[in-house]
Amino acid sequence: MKLLQDKTVIITGGSRGIGKGIVEVFAQHGANVAFTYNSSSEAANALADEVSKQGVKAKAYQSDAADYEQAQQLAKDVLEDFGSIDVVINNAGITKDNLLMRMGEEDFDKVVEVNLKSVFNMTKAVMKPMLKQRKGSIINMSSVVGVKGNAGQTNYAASKAGIIGFTKSVALELGSRDIRCNAIAPGFIETEMTGKLDEATVASWRNAIPLKRGGTPEDIANACVFLASDLSSYVTGQTLHVDGGMLT
Ligand code: NAP
């Protein structure tokens, strides 16, 4: 029996990077995967076709994580298409980096809407079905930056720190119904998001990490498998640091 056999999982931002890694690893563990994208429809549909070959159900949905109504519609569509929602991974995220001195209001609001409000949107959307089935696991993608802060990322750090407070509060509110809510704080994971950084910055980051390498989407996906599966049935309200020891 596979660890996530017959569980239906919603993954936001599954078309690229960490989300794509989660879609692939979850399918290998037997999960049926419903995942969203913002604009990469071709990549998302190709990924759904690819993972379907594992014998699981997989479908990509265009859905703006920042939009409350679209989250409600997504949950409805997934319930209709898949029959249940057992796990949600709020992974969609963006950066709009700048020093505070130069950061405009729009770039602050946009990052908070896509990264933090999205977590509220999806949690509200899946709460009812999870309460009804008296079981569920919600996993929110925070960041080492949300714990430690980072110059040039006040908007991003605020959104990721906000996720941790939200996660702990949901764990307290929904624990009695066996709905668990945890956060993951990835360190430096090599994806398109970090591909925007120059090579010297990347080299200095790698060198500062105790495990001496950047993480992979699979490293994060494996932590998600633990938090999604019954292996973590007594774990809630936690932030799991998957960062090669960066914060140690
Ligand atoms: P990425 O490669 O840039 O991928 C971002 C994903 O989010 C894409 O699938 C994108 O869809 C989707 N997305 C963006 N805006 C969206 C929206 N409004 N609605 C729905 N989906 C949207 O990023 P990543 O590096 O994999 O990061 C994934 C998560 O991990 C983010 O929350 C990020 O903050 C967090 N994280 C990353 C790192 C790192 O080092 N990479 C470290 C800590 C935390 P499209 O393809 O359609 O644009």
Nearest residue to 74 (alpha-carbon basis) of 142, 19, 125: 125
Q: How many CB atoms lie within 10 A of CB 227?
A: 23
Q: Record the tokens describing residue 4, joined without a space.
A: 């996530």
Atom index in ligand 1 nearest the CA of residue 156 equals 34
Nearest residue to 191 (alpha-carbon basis) of 39, 18, 67: 18
Of 82-86, 170-174, 183-187, 192-196, which range is least confident?
A: 192-196
Distance of alpha carbon 32 from alpha carbon 67, whole angstroms: 24
The catalytic residue among 37, 61, 68, 156 is: 156
Ligand 1 pocket test: pick from 39, 184, 193, 241 the residue with the most ligand atoms within 8 Å of its Cβ. 193
- pLDDT score for 194: 81
Q: Record the tokens describing residue 49, joined without a space.
A: 């076709």
Query: Is 61 annotated as catalytic?
Result: no
- pLDDT score for 61: 99
Q: Look over the chain and give the mean of its residue pLDDT values, rounded to a whole number.
A: 97
Ligand 1 in reach of 117 Cβ (< 6 A): no
Nearest residue to 90 (alpha-carbon basis) of 60, 66, 62: 66
Non-local (6+) Cβ contacts of 153 within 8 A are 95, 97, 145
CA 71 – ligand 1 centroid, Å: 17
In the chain the first and final C-alpha atoms are separated, in Å, by: 36
Measured torsion, CA atoms of residues 202, 25, 61, 136, in degrees rounded to the nearest 10 = -110
Ligand 1 in reach of 64 Cβ (< 6 A): yes
- pLDDT score for 1: 85
CA 198 – ligand 1 centroid, Å: 19
Taking only the tens place, the pLDDT of each residue in 110-168 is 999 999 999 999 999 999 999 999 999 999 999 999 999 999 999 999 999 999 999 99
Ligand 1 in reach of 159 Cβ (< 6 A): no
Structural domains of the chain sorted by starting position, each given as residue range(s) with its CATH number in brackets: 8-189+218-242 (3.40.50.720)
Ligand 1 in reach of 65 Cβ (< 6 A): yes
Ligand 1 in reach of 188 Cβ (< 6 A): yes
Distance of alpha carbon 149 from alpha carbon 157, whole angstroms: 6
Q: Is the pLDDT of residue 205 over 90?
A: no
Radius of gyration over alpha carbons of the chain, in Å?
17
Q: Is the pLDDT of residue 220 over 90?
A: yes
Q: What percent of the chain has pLDDT over 70?
A: 100
Ligand 1 in reach of 39 Cβ (< 6 A): yes
Q: Which amino acid is at 225?
A: V
CA-closest residue to ligand 1 atom 32:
93
